[in-house]
């Protein structure tokens, strides 16, 4: 009997290994959840990566973070964090300042507009996650979180 993923993807053959099926299943799930998240953010005029930056900078507080610290904390890697922050500065969501004698060190901070936006998104994002994953229940969610962490840790 074909697996649910084989049927969903309309494959004519089963996966060669369980590891391959698990990997494709993770990618497929991330794509489905990511698409729903992107669609929800469209109405607010930002991308999931920009939302992630706002959450990171809100968490950093008044101290802010340098570009590399923001880049390293992103869920998904980006090729050019400088351009990402440039766009967010242009949108009025982030500010950047040179606060140290080292001119290369630029601190990024969330603006009042950025804080309002990410705060306005708190409830809709929580509702989205609950609608997509809440049916799993606390025990299965904890197990899923732990298994995914183990997969990331052991594949490095």
Residue ranges making up the domain that contains 147: 44-154
Residues 64 and 128 in one domain: yes
pLDDT tens-digit series, residues 123-147: 999 999 999 999 999 999 999 999 9
Confidence of residue 20 (pLDDT cuts 50, 70, 90): very high
**CATH number of the domain to which 64 belongs:** 1.10.10.10
DSSP letter string, 32-92? HHHHHHHHHHHTTT--HHHHHHHHHHHHHGGG-EEHHHHHHH-SS--S-HHHHHHHHHHTT
Task: Give me the pLDDT at residue 100, please.
Answer: 67
Residues 18 and 36 in one domain: yes
Q: What domain count does the chain have?
A: 2
Residues 97 and 49 in one domain: yes
d(CA 75, CA 97): 24
Residues 62 and 87 in one domain: yes
pTM given for the model:
0.88
Helix (H) or strand (E) holding 109: strand 107-110
Structure token digits, residue 61: 């507080």
CB 53 within 8 A of CB 80: no
- Average per-residue pLDDT in the chain? 92
Residues 50 and 93 in one domain: yes
Task: Give me the pLDDT at residue 44, please.
Answer: 96
d(CA 132, CA 121): 16
pLDDT tens-digit series, residues 24-70: 999 999 999 999 999 999 999 999 999 999 999 999 999 999 999 99
Task: Give me the pLDDT at residue 88, please.
Answer: 96
């Amino acid at each position: 009997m074909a697996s649910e993923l084989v049927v969903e993807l309309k494959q004519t053959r089963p996966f060669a290994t369980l590891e391959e099926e698990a990997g494709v299943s993770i990618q497929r799930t991330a794509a489905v959840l990511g698409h729903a998240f992107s669609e929800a953010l469209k109405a607010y005029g930002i991308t999931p990566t920009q939302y992630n930056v706002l959450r990171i900078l809100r968490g950093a507080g008044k101290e802010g973070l340098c570009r590399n610290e923001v880049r390293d904390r992103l869920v998904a890697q980006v090729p050019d964090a400088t351009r990402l922050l440039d766009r967010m500065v242009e949108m009025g969501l982030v500010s950047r300042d040179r606060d140290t004698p080292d001119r290369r060190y630029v601190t990024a901070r969330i603006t009042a507009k950025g804080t309002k936006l990410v705060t306005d998104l708190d409830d809709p994002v929580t509702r989205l996650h609950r609608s997509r994953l809440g049916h799993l229940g606390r025990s299965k969610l904890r197990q899923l979180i732990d298994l995914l962490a183990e997969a990331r840790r052991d594949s490095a």
